[in-house]
Structure 1
Amino acid sequence: MAINSYATLQAAVVNWMNRGDIAAVVPDFIALAESRIATDVRVRRMLKAATLSTVAGLGVALPTRWLEFKSLHYNGRPLEFMTPDQLAARFGDQTGEPFYYSISGDTLVFGPVPSDVFSITALYYEQLEPLETSATNWLLTSKPNLYLYAALGEASLFVKKPDHAASWASLYGGIVDAMHTEDSKATYSGAPLVVRAG
């Protein structure tokens, strides 16, 4: 059976665990697996571009399903990151065009505080929509074993088999590492090697 949808993934977890009695809680294992994937996986197909508009005197709400910024630009210039404390110490209530940014809770904040409406070009990693609502996605169809091993690890913890959970976690981690290596090679494929003087 191909694992290419939420339903087939649920069935596979039950089959691989050989435990029909856990079927009712398999959606929980998959949700936990998705949370782990969101924490661990950063590949170019998860990138999304957006234009964020500041509001004078305020920050900007982080995009829906935002995981991490790859870059932020204002007027073609990259914004540099500061911690919230550094931002407050350096700029206080000073207003103007943004040069720096930080994240406070679910809000993107800037230094100086925006004095007007400014357009910020953002490139960020977006968490995949849950399989419970989307039924399938590109990651499940291309790497079904990633979801399966992550869910089996959660299921093994549930049935009190930590050794099995560790084995599934190891297999899952190997796929994550391979994905990042594969993504890095594809991203820089064809780029000439440049040697920089130290």
Structure 2
Amino acid sequence: MALIVDNPSLQSAVTEYLARDQDAILIARIPTFIQLFEAKMNRSLFVRQMESRVTAVTNPTQTEPEFIALPADFQSMRRMRLTVGAAVGKPFLEYKSNQQMDEYKLSIAGTPAQPQFFTIFGNEIELGPGPDAVYTVEMVYRQNIPALATNNTNWLLTLAPDIYLYGALMEAAPYIKEDARIQTWGAGLASALGDLNQLGLTSAFNAGPLTVRPAGLKIW
């Protein structure tokens, strides 16, 4: 079997493992199996490779300067801060629920100032107060895995091709039903995911001693 290095070689490997070359309907579904597996990973996988950092600049002359579009691959927020324009010692933005943000903005009567809070509203970030000047906002967020349907490869396929292989095979299970290999594939997927999660923990926390801090809001 050839190495799994990109989307075509992954599909070839899945075809080989299924060993049902004559089942055209099953083979045609392989891209869907891969898509379904990616959807599951987007909901359940938490490793540092899914973290991304972007910046946006507020414009107080806009009609609604308190709204910033979320990145297209946004999954969940980790933190937000002002990197340019913030008062000394007040860079980080605190999360509020939509209702809390509405109540807060009513309490300040919409007066612009340096943003102190944020909330997620649909596909946008809402700042509170609305910015009174130009600020650079940095967000660190959990992103979706780049889909192989539109990318020839991605970081997960490069790091863990076995996860993609076993994951796609398990998504094929409803089609192949009583195949005795399903249990083997499931065990392979569980082992690969366990290894990846452990790698994520060690790579994130082995840089230095852990410090105990009081529990606070967990955005993701």
Write the letter of the residue equivalent to 2:206. Answer: S
Which digits, 9 at most, give the CA deviation of each residue in 1:56-90, with x for residues without a partner?
A: 43311101212222211123621111111111122
Q: Percent identity?
A: 28
How far has the Cα of 1:7 moved from its partner? Answer: 0.9
State which structure, 1 or 2, has the greater radius of gyration over its C-alpha atoms.
Answer: 2
Tell me which residue corresponds to 1:178.
195
1:14 aligns with 2:15: yes
Query: Conserved in 2, the CA contact under 8 Å of 1:53 and 1:117?
Result: yes
TM-score (norm 2): 0.77
Write the letter of the residue equivalent to 2:46. Answer: R
Q: 1:91 aligns with which of 89, 99, 105?
A: 105
- SS class of match (1:134): coil
**Greater helix content:** 1
Which digits, 9 at most, give the CA deviation of each residue in 1:131-186, with x for residues without a partner?
A: 23321123212201111122112111244459976875564344334322222211
How far has the Cα of 1:187 moved from its partner? Answer: 1.8
Instruction: Output aligned runs, 1:69-84, within 5 Å.
Output: 69-74=77-82, 75=86, 77-84=91-98
Choose 115-124 or 98-107, whichever is displaced more.
Answer: 115-124
Instruction: Give the distance between the partners of 1:192 and 1:105, measured in 2 at CA.
Output: 38
Instruction: Give the distance between the partners of 1:53 and 1:166, measured in 2 at CA.
Output: 51
| Residues 55 and 164 of structure 1: CA distance in aligned 2, closer, same or farther (over 3 Å) | farther
- CA-based RMSD of the aligned residues comes to 2.7
| Residues 119 and 24 of structure 1: CA distance in aligned 2, closer, same or farther (over 3 Å) | same
Instruction: Output aligned runs, 1:103-114, within 5 Å.
Output: 103-114=120-131
Which digits, 9 at most, give the CA deviation of each residue in 1:76-107, with x for residues without a partner?
A: 62111111111112223523221111111111
How far has the Cα of 1:46 moved from its partner? Answer: 2.5
Tell me which residue corresponds to 1:33.
37
Instruction: Give the distance between the partners of 2:212 and 2:51, measured in 1 at CA.
Output: 28
How far has the Cα of 1:193 moved from its partner? Answer: 5.0
Unaligned runs of 5+ in 1: none
Query: Conserved in 2, the CA contact under 8 Å of 1:153 and 1:164?
Result: no
Tell me which residue corresponds to 1:131.
148
TM-score (norm 1): 0.84
Q: Report how many aligned residue pairs link the two structures.
A: 197
